[in-house]
């Protein structure tokens, strides 16, 4: 799930800021899924796109490469306005995120 | 390593924290902005060296924030590097088109990141240097123009237009011609008539303009005091020779317009051929330079010989500097003397030549990027110049000064060894306004008479020695020896002047302690050209020359105003 080599490099770079960064990632991301669902309910695909785009960037930064890729496919759906598949895709993305979160928590 | 101030604008806090840490680890100072509005505010307050800007941000997106930042930065070059996860060519091109300078694609390569920050910093340094230099050049240029304005104002006060506005004169001179080295001066003579001088100094700019100031000062000052043009030119030449560096001089054409004798005396040095056109005929008379320019020859070698041309009313003189002949058309071809002569020749009448020349030159240079430095003047003989209010005023002035006076000056041996009294004598004579017009000639007369009295009389040198080159050298060797050994002897100078203010008579008598010479053996009548006594130089101005006693005393009589020979 997580590219551990890259994550160790990030740890070296961030030093004492590493743990706060991961905590920040988790705090931000936890918030994003209700946001996305809310926006989708309101039919605001652009808002969904912005949120999932940020999530993609943040995930990629914490070396969750696959999660970032999955987020990118959701982003493309949002751009295409594919509301029919978005709900399910967001649910799947959240499942993947929860696994990454668990792994990150265990690393701290 | 230099610390740069880097603004990072990214709404994604995780992204921002990571990038910020990387950039700080590389030794830079980082300020963070969490959205576009904040980015603009922080930019205004902190003026960072470089901006790393996320493209997609809620509210004010990266592209719009960049536009605002670039507007605030104004002339300063603040590099903005877009941060993007987009990687297709069009998206990246869009970033640059919206005002960004470059982009970095996520995930960032740390080495490239630092290299770009340093590279853009160098670029903005270069831009700053460029702006500073531009401002410096603009400042220097403003300063120079301001100086030129002041210089021009001073120059205009000294070299005022004189009587260039007289109805008998038409002229063309660009307002800043002084910085091309061109000068036009014209002044009424106290006794009627006028002096006109066209000068063309070598070079351009301030060096060319600076010599014009003493020139104008001398020209107006001496003309007003009644000095003749020859004296004026002699003085100008001497002044320019002493103040201008070697290789700098003034080509000039000078005219003494004398309506009372319906003639013009012309002196030309180094200027192109000029023309004299008769009012009643088709013939063009060409006037050519016969002298070296002013400021070239030393005072003793300067030739003030003028050429006299009879001029009837309506006859015209055309003078110009080489600007007109060297005027170039768009092909770089010069107007040339030949074209100029053709214009003069083809004119319907002498009175139309001036306009025809102007028109022909204008048409010729049309559209070419050339400096406006054609200087041209037309001087028409006009009987009205004889008398006018102006001259009446100065005529009153000319009547002033000493009229009847006598002065005796006796120089003893010890004084004669090292003192030359001629400048002092000349200075005293120049107090008589009527003698100023012939100051140069008077100087020559006194100098000759004094050197005769001193060298042949007191020192006893034989004038015949100077007839051969060897003798000449021997003469001066002997002179030096005898001056050194001189213990006894004198020269007595007597100047006697009578006059009524409008005319006068000057008698100069020089007596020396020498043995004299047998003047009755010589034909001393005026016109005789015998050697050594300098008589030919004197004869042109003196009415009589008379020797007394044993030949150690001589008197010359000069009446003024002079009967001028044509």
Subunit contact B58:A24, Cβ cutoff 8 A: no
Average pLDDT of the segment spanning A33-60: 93
Subunit contact B106:A28, Cβ cutoff 8 A: no
CATH architecture of B5-130: 3-Layer(aba) Sandwich (3.40)
Average pLDDT of the segment spanning B311-333: 88
Subunit contact A24:B107, Cβ cutoff 8 A: no
Q: B interface toward A at CB cutoff 8 Å? A: 11-15, 17-18, 21-22, 25, 56, 58, 85, 106-107
CA distance B78 to chain A (A): 26
What CATH number is given to the structural domain containing A89? 1.20.120
Helix locations, B288-412, DSSP H:
322-325, 336-346, 353-365, 389-399
Instruction: Tell which phi-psi region holds residue B532, choosing left (phi > 0), alpha (psi between -120 and 50) or beta.
Output: left
pLDDT digit string (tens) for B506-517? 999 999 999 888
CA distance A2 to chain B (A): 15
The CA distance from B253 to B266, in Å, is: 7
Collapsing DSSP to helix, strand or coil, B156 comes out as helix
pLDDT confidence bin for B398, thresholds 50/70/90:
low
Q: Report domain extents, chain B.
A: 5-130, 159-391, 400-560
Domain that residue A41 falls in: 4-107
pLDDT digit string (tens) for B515-565? 888 776 665 444 334 444 456 667 777 888 889 988 899 999 999 887 654
Return the pLDDT at B528: 39
Nearest to B113 by CA among B70, B85, B78, B83: B83
In chain B, residues with a C-beta closer than 8 Å to the C-beta of A76 are none
Instruction: Copy the structure tokens of residue A52.
Output: 């999932």
In chain B, residues with a C-beta closer than 8 Å to the C-beta of A56 are 85
- CATH annotation of B159-391: 3.60.40.10
Instruction: Copy the structure tokens of residue A106.
Output: 């265990």
Return the pLDDT at A21: 94
Instruction: Determine contact: A50 vs chain B, CB below 8 A.
Output: yes
Collapsing DSSP to helix, strand or coil, B334 comes out as strand
Mutate one of A54, A78, A101 to test the B interface: name it (highest B CB count within 10 A): A54
Task: Say if residues B186 and B215 touch (Cβ distance below 8 Å).
Answer: no
Subunit contact B106:A21, Cβ cutoff 8 A: no
Share of chain A above pLDDT 90, in %: 80
Chain B residue closest in CA terms to A21: B14
Phi, psi at B343, each rounded to 5° = -60, -45
CA distance B75 to chain A (A): 34
Instruction: Determine contact: A97 vs chain B, CB below 8 A.
Output: no
Instruction: Copy the structure tokens of residue A77.
Output: 């759906």
pLDDT confidence bin for B177, thresholds 50/70/90:
low
Task: Provide the ipTM.
Answer: 0.89
Instruction: Copy the structure tokens of residue A65.
Output: 């490469």
pLDDT confidence bin for B172, thresholds 50/70/90:
confident
The CA distance from A54 to A74, in Å, is: 12
Task: Average the pLDDT over each of B9-13, B262-266, B417-421 and give the range with the smallest value.
Answer: B417-421
Average pLDDT of the segment spanning B126-147: 92
Question: What torsion do the CA atoms of B246, B248, B251, B256 make, to the nearest 10 degrees?
Answer: -80
CA distance A21 to chain B (A): 7
Instruction: Copy the structure tokens of residue B230.
Output: 């020859």
Instruction: Determine contact: A32 vs chain B, CB below 8 A.
Output: no
Share of chain B above pLDDT 70, in %: 91
pLDDT at residue A26 tops 80: yes
Average pLDDT score over chain B: 85
pLDDT confidence bin for B205, thresholds 50/70/90:
confident
Separation of CA B42 from chain center: 59
Domain tally for chain A? 1
Subunit contact B106:A60, Cβ cutoff 8 A: yes
Nearest to B240 by CA among B222, B217, B223: B217
Class of domain B400-560: alpha beta
Question: Position of tokens 């012939």?
Answer: B438
pLDDT confidence bin for B266, thresholds 50/70/90:
very high
The CA distance from B161 to B177, in Å, is: 13
């Amino acid at each position: 799930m997580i590219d551990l080599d890259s994550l160790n490099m990030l740890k070296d770079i961030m030093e004492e800021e590493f743990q706060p960064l991961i905590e920040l990632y988790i705090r931000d991301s936890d918030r994003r899924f209700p946001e996305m669902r809310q926006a989708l309910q309101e039919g605001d695909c652009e808002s969904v796109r912005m949120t999932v785009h940020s999530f993609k960037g943040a995930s990629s930064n914490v070396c969750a490469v696959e999660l970032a890729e999955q987020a990118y496919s959701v982003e493309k759906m949002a751009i295409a306005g594919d509301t029919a598949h978005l709900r399910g895709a967001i649910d799947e993305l959240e499942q993947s995120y929860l696994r990454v979160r668990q792994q990150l928590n265990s690393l701290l | 390593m230099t610390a740069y101030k880097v603004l990072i604008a990214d709404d994604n806090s995780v992204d921002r924290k990571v990038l910020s840490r990387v950039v700080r680890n590389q030794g830079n100072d980082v300020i963070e902005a969490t959205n576009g509005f904040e980015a603009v505010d922080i930019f205004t307050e902190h003026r960072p060296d470089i901006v790393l800007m996320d493209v997609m941000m809620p509210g004010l997106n990266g592209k719009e924030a960049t536009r605002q930042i670039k507007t605030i930065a104004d002339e300063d070059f603040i590099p903005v590097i877009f941060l993007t996860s987009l990687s297709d060519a069009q998206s990246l091109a869009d970033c640059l088109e919206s005002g960004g300078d470059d982009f970095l694609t996520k995930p960032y390569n740390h080495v490239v990141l630092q290299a770009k920050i340093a590279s853009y910093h160098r670029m903005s340094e270069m831009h700053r240097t460029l702006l500073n230099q531009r401002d410096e050049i603009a400042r220097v240029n403003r300063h120079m123009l301001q100086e030129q304005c002041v210089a021009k104002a001073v120059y205009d006060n000294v070299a005022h237009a004189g009587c260039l506005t007289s109805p008998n004169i038409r002229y063309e001179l660009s307002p800043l011609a002084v910085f091309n080295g061109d000068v036009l001066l014209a002044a009424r003579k106290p006794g009627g008539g006028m002096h006109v001088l066209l000068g063309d100094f070598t070079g351009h700019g301030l060096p060319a303009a600076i010599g014009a100031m003493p020139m104008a000062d001398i020209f107006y000052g001496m003309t007003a005091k009644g000095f003749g043009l020859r004296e004026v030119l002699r003085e100008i030449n001497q002044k320019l020779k002493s103040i201008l560096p070697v290789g700098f001089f003034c080509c000039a054409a000078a005219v003494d317009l004398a309506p009372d004798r319906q003639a013009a005396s012309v002196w030309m040095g180094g200027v192109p051929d000029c023309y004299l056109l008769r009012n009643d005929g088709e013939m063009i008379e060409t006037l050519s330079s016969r002298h070296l320019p002013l400021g070239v020859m030393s005072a003793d070698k300067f030739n003030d010989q003028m050429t006299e041309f009879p001029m009837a009313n309506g006859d015209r003189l055309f003078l110009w500097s080489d600007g007109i002949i060297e005027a170039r058309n768009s092909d770089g071809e010069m107007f040339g003397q030949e074209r100029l002569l053709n214009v003069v020749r083809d004119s319907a009448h002498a009175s139309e030549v001036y306009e025809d020349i102007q028109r022909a030159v204008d048409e010729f240079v049309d559209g070419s990027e050339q400096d406006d430095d054609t200087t041209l003047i037309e001087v028409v003989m006009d009987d009205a110049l004889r008398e006018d209010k102006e001259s009446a005023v100065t005529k009153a002035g000319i009547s002033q000064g000493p009229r009847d006076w006598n002065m005796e000056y006796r120089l003893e041996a010890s004084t004669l060894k090292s003192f030359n009294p001629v400048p002092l004598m000349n200075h005293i004579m120049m107090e008589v306004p009527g003698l100023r017009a012939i100051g140069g000639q008077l100087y020559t007369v006194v100098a000759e008479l004094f050197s005769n009295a001193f060298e042949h009389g007191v020192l006893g040198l034989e004038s015949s020695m100077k007839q051969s080159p060897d003798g000449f050298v021997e003469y001066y060797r002997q002179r030096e020896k005898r001056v050194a050994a001189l213990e006894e002897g004198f020269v007595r100078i007597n100047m006697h002047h009578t006059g009524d203010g409008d005319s006068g008579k000057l008698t100069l008598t020089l007596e020396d302690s020498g043995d004299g010479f047998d003047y009755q053996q010589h034909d001393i009548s005026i016109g005789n050209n015998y050697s050594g006594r300098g008589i030919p130089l004197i004869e042109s101005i003196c009415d009589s020359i008379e020797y007394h006693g044993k030949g150690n005393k001589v008197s010359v009589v000069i009446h003024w105003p002079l009967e001028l020979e044509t």
